[in-house]
Structure 1
Amino acid sequence: MRRLGWEVEAGAAAVRRAFAAPGRERDAGVQALKAAGAAVAAWALVGWWWQAPMALMAPWTAVALVQGTVYRSVRTGVQQLALITAGTLLAAGAALATGSVMGAIALALPPAALLGAHNRFGDQGVYAPTTVIFVLAYGTFSGYDIAHRLGEAVVGAAIGIGVNALLLPPVHLRGVREALATMAGESTGLLRQMADDVESGCDEADARRWKDRAGSLTATLEGLRSARTWSRESYRFNPGHRMRRGARRPPPIEHDLYWERFMERLAALVDNLAAGAGRDRDLALPPPARLGVLARLLRAVADVCDWDRRRWDLPPGAADRAEREAAVARAEDALADLKAGLVSYDQETAVALGAVAASGQQLLGLVRGVA
């Protein structure tokens, strides 16, 4: 039954993530349509109206510069133009030196590929060798042709960056709130599972599941950090945050720091409990009567985490603060009962119970002071 409850909780977490996905998918769809529109606009200007000799450079550049943030579009645009310039000059120089397309490809591609492999360029590195191929495939290398190709790339970059910055510019406002809610929700699930397990007599399999779920919180924390990075980056060079005055700003960075410390202290509590439930029994398992008190403590802290999860779905100040304070008070009462009478137990039991109580006190001390 305990395993079934854990699976149900994991399914509920998946449902919560699924409900958050449509917003991200909508954003990705908007960016994809903007990229297509930028490419069409670039082709219409350079290929249809100007009848440029190598018009594909403009839409090729434009479609790649509708990035997830305006800052990323600008940075990527600078990298691409540098690589396209280098590839064009390498191709032209190799063609003039060898007098044949085959010889020019053999001469220009190795340095272009090495340049593109530099870690400073990341995924954009492919533009150097592909530019060499495109330029040599067209077979014209005069100064006029080189200037035309670079100009087409500049026009495409300008269109791509302009479309991304001025047409529904991406501002990542939801990501941090969703990540904070996920962190709180998964912590709630772990604490409630631990409470159920210790109340009914935990064993090595239970301890292993606690450790697995505690380990998965590390990935969730990385997701929170990534969301914070995207949110911060999306405000750079971006008029969108001024256009969307009604949108809520991301929560302060202090909430991220809180969950980092919370995860560390929760992991310590899991380790102390798992040491008593595991096969090696590094610590004694607290007596059954104390396990019931510990379950009360875990459920009360889980209620605090659940309040923290629900608060991000509500307008600022709408969450009932008294509900959280009541859960903290229940946790304090349970901790006081857990620490009472420690000296009445034998040495091994007192050490094990004291370690669990100390971990619980550190965890409660953290959640008590959060605004």
Structure 2
Amino acid sequence: MRDLSQAVGQWKQWALWEGAAVGRSARRALGGPGPERDTAVQALKAAAAALIAWALAGWWWKAPMAMLAPWTAIFLVQSTVYRSLKSALQQFVVVVMGTLLAAGAGVLTGNAMLAMIIALPVAMLFGSYARFGTQGLNAPTAALFVLVYGTYSGFDILHRFLETLLGAAIGLAVNALVLPPVHSRSVRHLRSHLPEESAALLHTVADGLSDDGLTQEGAQTWHDRAWRLTDRVTELRTARSWSDESYRFNPGRKLRRSAPLPPAADWDFTWDRITHHIEAITRTLAESAGGSGRAALPDAAPAIVAELLRAAGDVCELDDTLEHSDPGEPGADESRRRRGRDRRAALQRAYTAQSELNSMFRERGDEYLDTFAAVTADTIRLLSDLSSIAGREPDDEAARDDAHGAAG
């Protein structure tokens, strides 16, 4: 009884948690744009497409296999119009093949069971072809419809093809013309958070080096965060691909007022390099923490690296601010110019610190060659890419040339 009571308590807790999650999702769907609302819209569109297909095929046309039309319409309200069109072609091919296989086996054997033994293995093998994707399972499903209903005449087969085409046309039309799905929100979201998270990590590393010095535990934590930061770029690349697909063959995208074009992809490549430079710097710091000799940094180096990374974090943070400033706000142009100057000033501070680091590297000779060289090279690469997002190189040509000369 005790075990039963515990099981009931766990199921009750799970049900409450699940109900609360559903409630939160429903509130978010009603509250504003987001993934929950997108899911709800697509679900309602699929239901509407099925109702329209049934009204035409079953109620008005009175087709013998009217269920094929709404069944096809539901599955063709996909997450993108391109995917709907691709799925429509795949589904029609596999339905035709499954229907013809079943009809041929039925005519040949005259027995539903024997026909299934012949048709279903072949239909399953045909549907497993990778080009058909998830639609491949419709081949044996179509074969089962034919064999269960036992109608093999040419008229019945033609009706099945027409009903499938009707459902496909309705599903495509509803998906393309009624709030056509456009997936650019994730691109803008990740594009906003990547500079913000990069700035936060660089500031954290700078504060840690200034306050506590280079410790094994702290450096490993920084490296773990930098590793997750590179995952953000992978997510952005996936979101970019998803966004591009949502615009393909989408005649109704201009009807979506809330779906502006996603930002250009050039920005992504620069930040891909920046996040990898940050990851390389934190990895080198983690390897050098607690080390000695060639695996260590000079005593004065962490303070200089901290100043460099703090300024680099300011550049990242100001890049995020500039990207999201509203040009329609009063005084927006002057505000952008001021923040642009601030960003270049931060980059200048970073290059000044880099010049100090280069000078220290040359003075130390090869005593700290391995780790010190790696940190110096990694920070030079970071500043080089940050210069590109700042719009131009820093004003101090000597500092810039000194840094680039050290990189060479």
Structure 1 length as normaliser, TM-score?
0.87
Q: Is the Cα contact below 8 Å between 1:171 and 1:240 reproduced in 2?
A: no
Give the counterpart of 2:208 among 168, 188, 197.
Answer: 197
Q: Is the Cα contact below 8 Å between 1:112 and 1:128 reproduced in 2?
A: yes
**Compared with structure 1, are the counterparts of its residues 127 and 246 closer, same or farther at alpha carbon in structure 2 (3 Å cutoff)?**
closer
Displacement of 1:110: 0.9
**Compared with structure 1, are the counterparts of its residues 286 and 361 closer, same or farther at alpha carbon in structure 2 (3 Å cutoff)?**
same
- Cα distance in structure 2, aligned partners of 1:32 and 1:349: 62
**Segment drifting more, 341-350 vs 56-65:** 341-350
Displacement of 1:53: 1.4
Percent identity (aligned): 47
Question: Where do residues 169-248 of structure 1 align in structure 2 (5 Å cutoff)?
Answer: 169-199=180-210, 200-244=212-256, 248=260
Q: Is the Cα contact below 8 Å between 1:36 and 1:63 reproduced in 2?
A: yes
- Cα distance in structure 2, aligned partners of 1:215 and 1:86: 48
Give the counterpart of 2:124 among 88, 113, 130.
Answer: 113
**Segment drifting more, 305-314 vs 101-110:** 305-314
Q: Is the Cα contact below 8 Å between 2:127 and 2:139 reproduced in 1?
A: yes
Residue 280 of structure 2 corresponds to 268
- Cα distance in structure 2, aligned partners of 1:227 and 1:311: 22
User: What is the identity, as a one-letter code, of the residue corresponding to 2:151?
Assistant: T
- Give unmatched runs, 5+ long, in structure 1: 1-17
CA-based RMSD of the aligned residues comes to: 2.5
Displacement of 1:247: 5.2
Q: Is the Cα contact below 8 Å between 1:43 and 1:59 reproduced in 2?
A: yes
Once the two structures are superposed, residues 48-68 of structure 1 have per-residue CA deviations (whole angstroms, 9 ceiling, x without a partner) of 222211111111110111112
**Segment drifting more, 245-254 vs 67-76:** 245-254
**Compared with structure 1, are the counterparts of its residues 60 and 316 closer, same or farther at alpha carbon in structure 2 (3 Å cutoff)?**
farther
Structure 1 residue runs of 4+, over 6 Å off?
none
Q: Give the aligned length.
A: 352
Displacement of 1:139: 1.5
- Cα distance in structure 2, aligned partners of 1:160 and 1:300: 54
**Compared with structure 1, are the counterparts of its residues 346 and 236 closer, same or farther at alpha carbon in structure 2 (3 Å cutoff)?**
closer
**Compared with structure 1, are the counterparts of its residues 24 and 31 closer, same or farther at alpha carbon in structure 2 (3 Å cutoff)?**
same
Once the two structures are superposed, residues 106-135 of structure 1 have per-residue CA deviations (whole angstroms, 9 ceiling, x without a partner) of 111111111111111112111111111222
Residue 253 of structure 1 corresponds to 265
Residue 4 of structure 1 corresponds to none
Higher relative contact order (CA 8 A, sep 6+): 1
Question: Where do residues 12-91 of structure 1 align in structure 2 (5 Å cutoff)?
Answer: 23-91=34-102
- Cα distance in structure 2, aligned partners of 1:41 and 1:110: 34
Displacement of 1:316: 5.6
Residue 380 of structure 2 corresponds to 361
User: What is the identity, as a one-letter code, of the residue corresponding to 2:227?
Assistant: G
Once the two structures are superposed, residues 262-318 of structure 1 have per-residue CA deviations (whole angstroms, 9 ceiling, x without a partner) of 23322322232222026x769533234321221121122122222333444433695
Displacement of 1:251: 1.4
Give the counterpart of 1:347 among 333, 358, 366.
Answer: 366
- Give unmatched runs, 5+ long, in structure 2: 1-27, 392-408
The answer to whether residue 173 in structure 2 is matched with residue 162 in structure 1 is yes
User: What is the identity, as a one-letter code, of the residue corresponding to 1:203?
Assistant: T
Residue 4 of structure 2 corresponds to none
Structure 2 length as normaliser, TM-score?
0.79
